[in-house]
Amino acid sequence: MARISFLCINLLMVLFLTQPVLQAREKTFTVVIDAGHGGKDPGARGTVINEKEINLSVALKLGDKISASHDDVKVIYTRKNDRFIELDERANIANRNKADLFISIHTNSVKKGSTARGTETYTLGLARTDENLAVAMRENSAILLEDNYEQKYEGFDPNSSESYIIFEFMQNKHMEQSIGFASEIQKCFVSAKRADRGVRQAGFLVLRKTSMPSVLVELGYISNRDEEHFMKSSDGQNKLANALFDAFTRYKKEYDRKQGGVSGGNSSSGSVTTSVETSYFADEQVEEGVAPGSEQDILNRKKKSSVSSQKRQSTTTAARTKSVTTGKIVYKVQILTSDKKLSSGAKVFKGYKNVDYFVEKGIYKYTCGETTDFDSIRKLRRQVAKDFKDAFIVAFKDGKKVKY
């Protein structure tokens, strides 16, 4: 009898001690990995392999790496085999699963010339160059293989430049996070010795309806014989997947920090450190090194146009907090961003009062709450997250944004 009691006590102790581990493995972050094309849609054609095969292989390798290194991340694929998935359904998969991040993987190609090489990462927006527009047209032409695509996409013609005007008026509340993640991807590709063609914008239908930060990655040029063989090889695919994995790990670490928590991953990668100032809001390229067609000029123009606004706002914020919080770190919850100033009673604030804002790199960033107590701001963020899923914590000291 005593032996049975002893065993029961041991069993209870094991359950008690392992409970935190089980909780730590709760899937709190969802990433959807989209392998472009598939099935009857081969994508760009190479001499020895087609785009759809490269995309799928890299997507599966990336997902395996994330699953193996991040216990708290749920990985979902739009396809895990060679089948055709409609463009709007790819976005629907991400939305139905309430994904926190969407990564669409593709391979580039040009009709004339075989010297084009390198990687580029796109976010949703209006293409500013003919080259970017051509990439979007090629990727969007997949809808021509869908039934009733005219009705489904409201008359959108992927081969008509006029159709792409709609992307000029689209407001993407996840623009900041998308650009930040895209920048991380390109930096990791550079570390992997890939030619950097920059972060760009274009009107991709697969990104249009996603309700989370989203990017479309072009791994390289299948029209370039050397790049085609690199992307076909197991070594090349592993290098590409590793670069994407490193970028994801950096993004996830920053995401966790903003949520006021600790990353649930157990990655041992040595290149995952980053900071909000150097990675998410700083200009990513030296002017002389900007790749042809890079969208960095768009960000630079926004930065220049907002210099005076930033100075005024910095002065206002410092004056407001100086009297009671001089020398202390003040925490707030950032709830949304906008490329223009919003009125205090705007519907997007969902009735929240005392909403404040600051301007950074030409983007208005709106916050609520203000406290020097970190535990209090964590509680507030959890409450606010019910209305603003992507809310996160930001910190200020003497009116200036700081890391914490």
For residue range 242-276, list pLDDT tens digits in order.
999 999 999 999 999 888 765 555 543 433 333 32
CB atoms within 10 A of CB 200: 27
> Is the model's pLDDT at 293 over the cut of 60?
no
Work out whether strand 119-124 and strand 214-221 pair parallel, antiparallel, or are unpaired.
Answer: antiparallel
Q: How confident is the model at residue 1 (pLDDT cuts 50, 70, 90)?
A: low
- Residue 375 contacts by C-beta under 8 Å, 6 or more apart in sequence? none
Q: Report the alpha-carbon distance of residue 113 to residue 120 in Å, rounded.
A: 18
- Residue 397 contacts by C-beta under 8 Å, 6 or more apart in sequence? 327, 328, 329, 330
Exposed / middle / buried, residue 22 (Cβ in 10 Å: 0-12, 13-18, 19+): exposed
pLDDT tens, residue by residue, 353-382: 889 999 887 788 899 999 988 888 888 988
Q: Report the alpha-carbon distance of residue 312 to residue 319 in Å, rounded.
A: 11
> Is the model's pLDDT at 403 over the cut of 70?
yes
Which carries the bigger pLDDT value, residue 292 or residue 327?
327
- Measuring CA to CA, which residue among 181, 180, 186, 294 is closest to residue 240? 186
Q: How confident is the model at residue 280 (pLDDT cuts 50, 70, 90)?
A: very low
pLDDT tens, residue by residue, 295-304: 554 455 445 5
pLDDT of residue 161: 87
> Is the model's pLDDT at 350 over the cut of 50?
yes
Which carries the bigger pLDDT value, residue 118 or residue 391?
118
Q: How confident is the model at residue 123 (pLDDT cuts 50, 70, 90)?
A: very high
Exposed / middle / buried, residue 113 (Cβ in 10 Å: 0-12, 13-18, 19+): exposed
Percent of all residues in the chain with a pLDDT value above 70, rounded to a whole number: 76
Which carries the bigger pLDDT value, residue 313 or residue 192?
192
